[in-house]
Amino acid sequence: MSKTVRELSEELGVSKTTINKLLKDESRQQYVEKVGNKFVISDEGVESITAHFANSDSPKSKAKPKAQAKPTSKKEELLTKEEAQDTEVKDESEDLSKVTELEAELEQAKAELEKTKEALDEKESELTQKDDKIDSLKDKVTEVKEAVSSQKKSKPWWKIW
């Protein structure tokens, strides 16, 4: 029975693109016909494509990772467990080294933060001193203004000369 490209790709476990690439212009004219809005591959074409994938490894089987074979003996089982534990230990040691690096970076950041806080405290004390100086200068200016104004008021205008 003839099949569509989609049906054949699902049956063989490959993509539709893979099947379309196999169908060159000559084989497309020979095996494919349009029925309604679908392209249908004849029985001969289906057999040819199925034979192609039976002779060679299918792309899907290459893409799938191979499952690990179950160990056949206790020795192999122990070796597999040892390898798994070694991998786990390596992962843990890598994690530990990363943690150590991060702790060192954290200490550096804390030291920099402390230096910044000290500098900020110094600037704040300098600003406070300057504010105090400004206030005292304002008071002096006010006193001088009052003194000047009192001197002007004490002399009548005809005694200026």
User: Which residue is listed with tokens 């530990």?
Assistant: 96
User: Which residue is listed with tokens 């029985």?
Assistant: 43
CA dist., res. 9 & res. 53, Å (int): 11
Using alpha carbons only, how large is the chain's radius of gyration in Å? 46
Q: How far is CA 11 from CA 20, 34, 43, 60, 100, in A?
A: 15, 20, 14, 12, 53
CA dist., res. 11 & res. 136, Å (int): 95
Structure-block tokens of residue 35: 């029925």
Query: Alpha helix locations (H) across 13-160?
Result: 16-22, 25-31, 43-55, 59-63, 74-154
Q: Where are the domains of the chain?
A: 3-60, 82-139
pLDDT digits 0-9 by tens, 49-94: 888 888 765 444 444 444 455 556 777 777 788 888 888 888 888 8
φ/ψ of 23, rounded to 5, equals -85, 90
Query: Could you tell me the fold of the domain covering 3-60?
Result: Multidrug-efflux Transporter Regulator; Chain: A; Domain 2 (1.10.1660)
pLDDT digits 0-9 by tens, 103-160: 999 999 999 999 999 999 999 999 999 999 999 999 999 999 888 877 666 566 666 6
